[in-house]
Amino acid sequence: MIEGNVVHHNYHYGLDPHTGTHDVIIRNNIVHSNGEEGIICSLDCYNIIIENNEVYNNTQAGVMLSRNMTDSIARNNNVHDETKGIFLSESNNNQIYNNIISNSKDGIYLKSSSSNNKIYNNTVTHAVSNGILVNVGSSRNTFYSNTIINSTGGGYGINVKDPSTSIDNIFENNRLINSRERID
């Protein structure tokens, strides 16, 4: 359990349980102003719960699930003022829900063949580029009941890039308010 910490101004990452980490809860932390990601688990992590954290002003992503992070949950987090709010790369079978993401370039970003993830009941406001971005072969993900508000800074509420490789994603009951969608 990693709980109740204030983590800030580190050279790279704020919180980084790494290679092979499993069965960890990261809860009720304030993580901000770090040199890359605020909270990241990378390389064969599984059964990680990231919940009830406030994450902001990190230079890359607020919360990142990276390189074969599986069977994990990011829920009830307040993520704001990030390049990427919640970022999945090469990670599968995760759940991302009930998060509030605001004032970030991309709210929720899936890339590098992230598949079979469930992304639901999130609220993304004032995304500069994209509320939800699906890219580089990320397929078979389910997006439902998300609310995207005011993603109009030249980007999109929902953006599926390269749909020839990002296939079989399901979008249901998402609300776009002052936002638009794009499928290249």
State the pLDDT confidence band at 136, using cuts at 50, 70 and 90. confident
Among 81, 98, 77, residue whose Cα is nearest residue 29? 77
Residue 36 confidence (pLDDT) above 90? yes
Average pLDDT, the chain: 95
Q: Range with the lowest mean pLDDT among 63-67, 78-82, 120-124, 126-130?
A: 126-130
Structure tokens at 159: 């953006």
Q: Range with the lowest mean pLDDT among 52-56, 70-74, 125-129, 177-181?
A: 177-181
Q: Give one word for 35, left, alpha or beta, with left for phi > 0 and alpha for psi -120 to 50.
A: alpha
Task: Determine the Cα–Cα distance for residues 153 and 164; give it in Å rounded to an integer.
Answer: 26
Q: Which pLDDT value is given to residue 14? A: 98
- Domains held by the chain: number: 1
CATH number, position 135: 2.160.20.10
Expressed as residue numbers, the domain containing 14 is 2-183
> Which residues are 32's β-sheet partners?
8, 56
**pLDDT-above-90 percentage for the chain:** 90
pTM over 0.85: yes
Residue 63 confidence (pLDDT) above 90? yes
Residue 25 buriedness (CB in 10 A; 0-12 / 13-18 / 19+): middle
